[in-house]
Amino acid sequence: MTAVGEDPVKPRPGAVRGLFRSAGAALAALVGLIVSGCAADAELDTFVPQGPIAEELHSRAVVPVFAIAGVVFVGITVAMVWLIWRHRVKSHSDGDWPRQTHGHVPLEIGWTVGFLLTMAAVAVIMLVALPTVDGTEANAVAVDVDGREVMWEPTVVVVGNQWWWEFRYYLSDQVDLAALREIGDAQALPPADIVTSGQMVIPTGEEIELVVTARDVIHSFWIPALNGKRDAVPNRFSPWKIEASDPGVYFGQCTEFCGLSHSRMRMQVVALDPVDFQAWVDRTIQDAAVPADAAARRGMDTFAGICTSCHLVEGVNDETYAANGADQASGAAPNLTHFMSRTTFAGGFLNTYNPDGSLNRAELEAWLRNPDGMKANYTVPGEQFRGMPDLDLSEQQIDDLVAYLATLGRPPAGWVIEATEVLE
Amino acid sequence: MTVTADAPLELEAPPQPRYAERPLGVLTRPQGGRGWRDWLSTVDHKRIGIMYGTAAMFFFLVGGVEALLLRLQLAAPDGSVLGADVYNQVYTMHGVTMVFLFIMPLAAAFANYFIPLQIGARDVAFPRLNALSFWIWLSGAIFLNTAWIVGGGGADCGWFCYTPNSGVAFSPSHGVDFYAIGLQILGLASLISAINLIVTCLNMRAPGMTLMRMPVLTWMLLITQFLLLFALPVITVALFLLMFARLFGAPFFDPAAGADPLLWQHLFWIFGHPEVYIIILPAFGVVSEVIPTFSRKPLFGYEFMIFSGIAIGFMGWGVWAHHMFVSGIGPISVAAFSLSTMFIAVPTGVKILNWLATMWGGRLRFTVAMKFAVATVAMFTIGGLSGVTHSVAPADTQQTDTYYIVAHFHYVIFGGGVIGLFAGLYFWWPKVWGYMLDERLGNWNFWLMLIGFNLTFGPMHILGLQGMSRRIDTYAAGYGFELWNMVATVGAFLIALSMLVFMVNVWKSRRTAASRPAPGPDPWDARSLEWSIPSPVPEHNFDEVPVVRGRDEWWHRKYGIDDDGQVVRVATVEEAAQRGDAVGVHLPSPSFWPLAMAVGLPLIGYGLIFNLWLAVIGALIVIASLYSWAFEPVDDPDADHGHGHDEGHDGGGESGDGPGPDDAVGEVETAETDEPAAVGASEGQS
């Protein structure tokens, strides 16, 4: 029978000092590894915040907890390597037995308390950082709406659909989180002044409140450079916020698995300075007009006959759209009134423009010819569509439709086209 | 009937037909033996453990092939190996297979095989229920995978299968139906097994084996069984609702009907988080046996280890919503679950330091088992610490649902769980099979797996922080994802290679076993009771139920401590070990009814999906089996109790369906008579 409570093994001070020295070196190596790993030109990189919210989140939460975890990791790993190096033997000979230590209660209480204190520090980090991402300090922004100045509580309603994002701006009749929760149905949202998809346009230097919801399944809205993510849950309306310091384009990708084409559900935030933002509002708040060009007019007729069962072009086919009702499981397809003002289509997956600023006719035609070939969709006849079905269009119809779509809205500035190019 | 080493009871068995006619039921009562049919009817915990282990390793290969397909698809941008649809099925089935069909049953294999041996029992409390658990699990596993053939594809909703995406409108193939029903069947198996093993641990311990003397593996497995007992009903409820929603249009998760999709998430993760500890605690138990043995020291801080395990088990119930930090559950809930998540790191950290303290000052002999065990501690430390980084909820909003999470849970589940169980495979292989695995090939296996593992999942940390979302079937070039994805794919194939080496090792070691010295009862100079009996373990386990006087009972039978605190040998292994030659030990009789009943369950599943008449047939099989089982005596009164063999696994285990000895230290000579099985035994003699 072994005696319990023999003298414990005492730490050797020299060994402990050496341990800390090695820990410092290994930590530096680890940080170097992470930094070099993230230094690529990665638009989604979480370690390159581009706005005050993401910066605070990074510096108040991510960096401190990585530092603590890194120190603990290095400490444990170095201790383990040292133990292996110090105590390994080739084989066990019969007489060679170490002291039979069964434990040392003060030591064990010591490291229990040590871990408790470490985690208490992590808890403080969390509690300090939590209001950074939750809770809002948005200021009203003066926006000119059809010559009338409104104080816009900068809110964008973000609606996830299979497999694209819709962004709704309520400028003249402001709809806030409470009102949306009262409605409680993402398929019955009140009409908005501006409805766009794939690209959210925001003014720089302002905290933008988001109300995140979904029409069909759960998605997740995430622009890593501007803030963490928030799930878009059907019929739940969750507050979130983003802010961009400088004009620019910030990339995102749906991060909650949402079915077949989850990987092709992408989004961007285009941050414009206040003057450009006002100009964008002025343009996109307009309805579309009936085109003059003959091909475009034929395209418009084709659109009214086929596309309006899902897509809306405001000012042209409001009535047929309302009459048809969407065949989509989500109850909606992208609003195309200002199609050309967006540089991506098909759920942020394809480029509307070539890098030189000309219309990306090839991909647009290919998409109309065979959407399923470009992006996996679920379009079984007789069932509700998820994604765009193959419409069996003739080449003439496709040419006409492209001519019509090219009349819808105006292209953004050249730098936006360049910066928003998505890599397919 | 008292059987002791001094006086083994010899019974001359009259020759009997191996399959005697029985008046009850359609099936004749099997008598035990060595043919394949005896595996179908066995109630021996060791054979059941072997079957669990073998089937689990098979599904490890299945899940591994799925993983390789995923890695091939993601090796380079715009992968075209799998389409989006197939990719979604394969990654879902990879997760489901690895969790439910590999690591849980492999842990169950260890639990079945070693809990009775470590507590000095002859079998589990309810041997036929044990067989039922295995057969139900196997039928559920097969059922789940038949979705590929008859269900129009595997489930395509991710292993946590969030609603409403898993609803029939968004996942119209039968894959999710197979998921919902298959996991219910698998859950039933685990639930039955959990009850059985809890009763075994609490009631079947040898005299003197108090709870605080139980080996740590048994303790961790016991905690695991309690987690299963409470977690599985929750997931079963969720799956039941999902099944009704899909098959019968019930609106439990339909937002249009007013349902809250987060209901599923709560139900799933109330199960899903304890599931993490269900996966990791058995590996912790293995590591806690292997490290002391090869350090030549007792486990440092046994009590702290046990109570940290219990603390993890308790606190594991209070952290589930950290999977939902970005679901929109509100800042109060987020803060509360963020805090509880942080503090579950404390008992986990204590365990890691106690393992290190066990190694401190020891004589560390790096056999393959020891290498795997130490690697488990190292890899789990990384997984645990990346877990700490996303316990901070704001930081988690940048990390969740990215490859950083994929890296994290693979470091926990593979780095902790799988590598830990591999330590167990190498450690206990000679005990189960009677031959050692080759150490040289084992080293290849270890290093390939460790390097492959780190190459596969290490880069995923970076990919996640670079913003790569999980569950995407392709990614575009130019986001900086190319290099690390390629590295991860190379790593995955190294893991596959390491598994190939493992299989070669098993094949080669088995082939050359005869030409090498037999391992004997105790090849590692180990500490717990399973090493006091021959390898492979005789069917009756113990000639004589051991009387336990302390922790590490077997070690103390070999060694003592002299007045200077030095270890001195008091007995050789040959002197101290049991010879395994007892004959006439009464063992419970095998039965076909567990298998018969398990066959009925998948029929009910197919029936619910395709044609209700099939469900009726399945239900009739289940009811008939239950009925016949109920009237089948625990012990076959006609059975031959004297078929003493000195070969290894030979049919049934031992003891009846009742409580065993309690904690009190019994006398050696009366130990056996404390067991209810002895009653049946004396009847058998008369």
Contact A254 B469 (CB under 8 A): yes
Contact B88 A122 (CB under 8 A): no
Q: What angle do CA B308, B314, B318 make, to 5 degrees?
A: 125
For B570-597, write each residue's pLDDT tens digit.
999 999 999 998 888 888 888 999 999 9
- How many Cβ contacts (< 8 angstroms) between chains A and B? 336
Q: Where do the domains of chain A lie?
A: 2-88+102-133, 137-424
Tens of pLDDT along B373-401? 999 999 999 999 999 999 999 999 999 99
pLDDT tens-digit readout, B329-356: 989 999 999 999 999 999 999 999 999 9
Instruction: Report chain B's C-alpha Rg in angstroms.
Output: 25
CA distances from B178 to B50, B575, B601, B608, B622 (A): 27, 55, 13, 10, 19
The amino acid present at B177, given as its one-letter code, is D
CA of A151, closest CA in chain B: separation in Å? 28
Whether the per-residue pLDDT at A172 is higher than 90: the answer is: no
Q: Give yes or no for residue A424 having a pLDDT over 80.
A: no
Chain B, window 105-144: residues with a beta carbon less than 8 angstroms from a chain A beta carbon: none
Q: What is the pLDDT of residue A39?
A: 45
Segment B639-680, tens digit of pLDDT: 555 444 433 343 333 443 334 433 333 333 333 434 444 333
Q: Which helix (H) or strand (E) holds B203?
A: helix B175-203
| Strand A208-214 versus strand A238-242 pairing type | antiparallel
Least confident of A313-317, B107-111, B386-390: A313-317
CB A270 within 8 A of CB A374: no
B386 lies within 8 A of chain A by CB: yes
B440 touches chain A (CB under 8 A): no
pLDDT higher than threshold 80 for residue B13: no
For residue B483, the chain A residue with the least C-alpha distance is A37
List the beta strands (DSSP E) in A223-313. 229-232, 238-242, 248-253, 266-272
CA B490 to chain centre: 29
Q: Is A16 on the interface with B (CB under 8 A)?
A: no
Distance CA A354, CA A337 (A): 21
Q: Give me the mean pLDDT over the A384-392 stretch.
A: 88
Tell me how far apart the alpha carbons of residues A378 and B169 are, in angstroms, rounded to a whole number: 11
* Percent of residues, chain A, with pLDDT higher than 90: 67
What was the ipTM of the complex prediction? 0.90
Q: In this structure, how many other beta carbons lie within 10 angstroms of the beta carbon of residue A348?
A: 26
Domains of chain B: 280-516 (1.20.210.10)
Rounded to a whole number of angstroms, the distance from the CA of A309 to the nearest CA of chain B is 20
Q: Flag whether residue B160 sits within 8 Å of chain A, measured between CB atoms.
A: no
Residues 268-327 of A with CB under 8 A from B: none
CB contact under 8 A, B401 and A255: yes
**Interface residue A181 vs chain B (CB under 8 A):** no
pLDDT at B582: 87
Chain B CB within 8 Å of residue A40 CB? yes
Of B331, B381, B561, the CB nearest to A76: B381
Q: Give the residue among A297, A317, A275, A284 at the shortest CA–CA distance from A409.
A: A284
All residues of chain A having their beta carbon less than 8 Å from the beta carbon of residue B331 are: 130-131, 134-135
Task: Kindly list the residues from chain A whose CB atom is less than 8 angstroms away from the CB atom of residue B467.
Answer: 42-46, 224, 253
CA distance B300 to chain A (A): 5
When scoring B465, B475, B481, B525 by the number of chain A Cβ atoms within 10 A, the one with the most, hence best to mutate, is B465
Confidence of residue B682 (pLDDT cuts 50, 70, 90): very low
Residue in B207, B209, B154 with CA at minimum distance from that of residue B178: B154
Structure confidence at residue B36 (pLDDT): 80
The full DSSP string for B279-340 is HHHHHHHHHHHHHHHHHTSPPTTHHHHHHHHHHHHHHGGG-GGGGGTTS---HHHHHHHHHH
Compute the average pLDDT of residues A93-106.
Answer: 91
Structure tokens that stand for B650 in this block: 């030979």
pLDDT computed for residue B211 by the predictor: 96
User: Which runs of consecutive H residues, i.e. helices, occur in A39-104?
Assistant: 52-56, 63-87
Q: What is the pLDDT of residue B655?
A: 40
- Nearest chain A residue to B403 by CA: give it: A255
When mean pLDDT is compared across A120-134, B211-225, B241-255, B630-644, the lowest value belongs to B630-644
Only one residue has tokens 């080759």, namely B438
Q: Is the pLDDT of residue A135 over 80?
A: no
CB A251 within 8 A of CB A200: no
Does the beta carbon of B252 lie under 8 angstroms from any beta carbon of chain A?
A: no
- pLDDT value, residue A76: 96
| H or E stretch at A155 | strand A155-161
Q: Write the DSSP string, A118-163.
A: HHHHHHHHHHHHHHHHSS--PPPEEEEETTEEEEE--EEEEEEETT
Contact B302 A212 (CB under 8 A): no
Identify the architecture of domain A137-424 in CATH: Sandwich (2.60)
Asked if B389's CB is within 8 angstroms of A65's CB, the reply is yes
Contact A122 B328 (CB under 8 A): no
More confident of the two residues B275 and A26 = B275
User: How many alpha carbons fall within 13 Å on the CB side of residue B329?
Assistant: 21
Residues B322, A150: Cα–Cα separation, whole Å: 40
Question: Residue A129, SS3?
Answer: helix
Most B-contacting residue of A56, A77, A96, A100 (CB-CB within 10 A), to test interface: A100
pLDDT digits (tens, 9 = 90+) for B158-176: 999 999 999 998 999 999 9
**A263 lies within 8 A of chain B by CB:** yes
Confidence of residue A382 (pLDDT cuts 50, 70, 90): confident
B79: Cβ–Cβ under 8 A, 6 or more apart, which residues?
Answer: B72, B73, B473, B474
Write the DSSP symbol of residue A385.
Answer: B
CB contact under 8 A, B84 and A255: no
Cβ atoms within 10 Å of B78's Cβ, excluding its own: 10
- Please give the average per-residue pLDDT across A174-178, as a whole number: 87
> Which residues in A lie closer than 8 A to residue B339 (C-beta atoms)?
123, 126
